[in-house]
């Protein structure tokens, strides 16, 4: 495999693509509405069936509402957290070579060796690299040529087998 090097910016657009393409393949693909419903039921039940101070019931209802807002705005909240982080907006140097895939910016350097990659999930716009340690890393296909995308997928399958 020939060494490939490129640079990209962790911009809002790149991070939005990362979230949108990774969400269907993550463990929280479908939001869990059970927790806020249980909080709401407990809050209403506390208000109706107890004679004590109503503060606990109102707090449980407020937490249920807060959890529903979290579910509704999770993409926007995730993007805001990423952009506020120290890596948001920074330049990332990406290298794909015989050893593996390396990303490096001013704050973090990550190297995934080919034997450490469990599998690669191909999405419409990118690749989700799943490490054996459980970590997931998204790389946009726009960074690579079509031949290199195929070579990365083939290489990961060859190392995983």
**Summary mean pLDDT of the chain:** 91
* Sheet of 136-140, strand order: 117-122, 126-131, 136-140
Centroid of chain to Cα 119: 16
Angle at 84 between CA 80 and CA 87, to 5 degrees: 115
Give pLDDT, residue 33: 93
pTM of this structure: 0.80
Q: What is the pLDDT of residues 39-76, one digit of tens each?
A: 999 999 999 998 888 999 999 999 999 999 999 999 99
Query: pLDDT 10s digit of each residue in the chain, 161 long?
Result: 788 999 999 999 999 999 999 998 887 778 889 999 999 999 999 999 988 889 999 999 999 999 999 999 999 999 999 999 988 889 999 999 999 999 999 889 999 999 999 999 999 999 999 999 989 999 999 999 989 999 998 888 775 44
The CB-side HSE value for 147 (13 A sphere, CA atoms) comes to 3
């Amino acid at each position: 495999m020939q060494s490939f090097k490129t640079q990209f910016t962790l911009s809002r657009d790149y991070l939005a693509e990362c979230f949108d393409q990774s969400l269907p393949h993550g463990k929280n693909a479908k939001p869990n509405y059970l927790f806020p419903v249980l909080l709401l039921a407990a809050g209403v039940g506390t208000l109706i069936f107890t004679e004590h101070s109503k503060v606990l019931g109102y707090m449980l209802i407020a937490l249920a509402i807060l959890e529903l807002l979290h579910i509704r705005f999770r993409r926007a909240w995730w993007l805001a957290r990423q952009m506020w982080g120290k890596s948001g907006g920074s330049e990332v140097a990406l290298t794909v070579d015989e050893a593996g895939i390396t990303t490096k910016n001013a704050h973090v350097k990550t190297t995934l060796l080919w034997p450490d990659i469990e599998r690669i999930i191909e999405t419409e716009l990118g690749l989700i690299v799943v490490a054996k340690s459980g970590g997931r890393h998204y790389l946009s296909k726009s960074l690579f040529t079509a031949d290199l995308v195929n070579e990365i997928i083939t290489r990961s399958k060859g190392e995983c087998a």
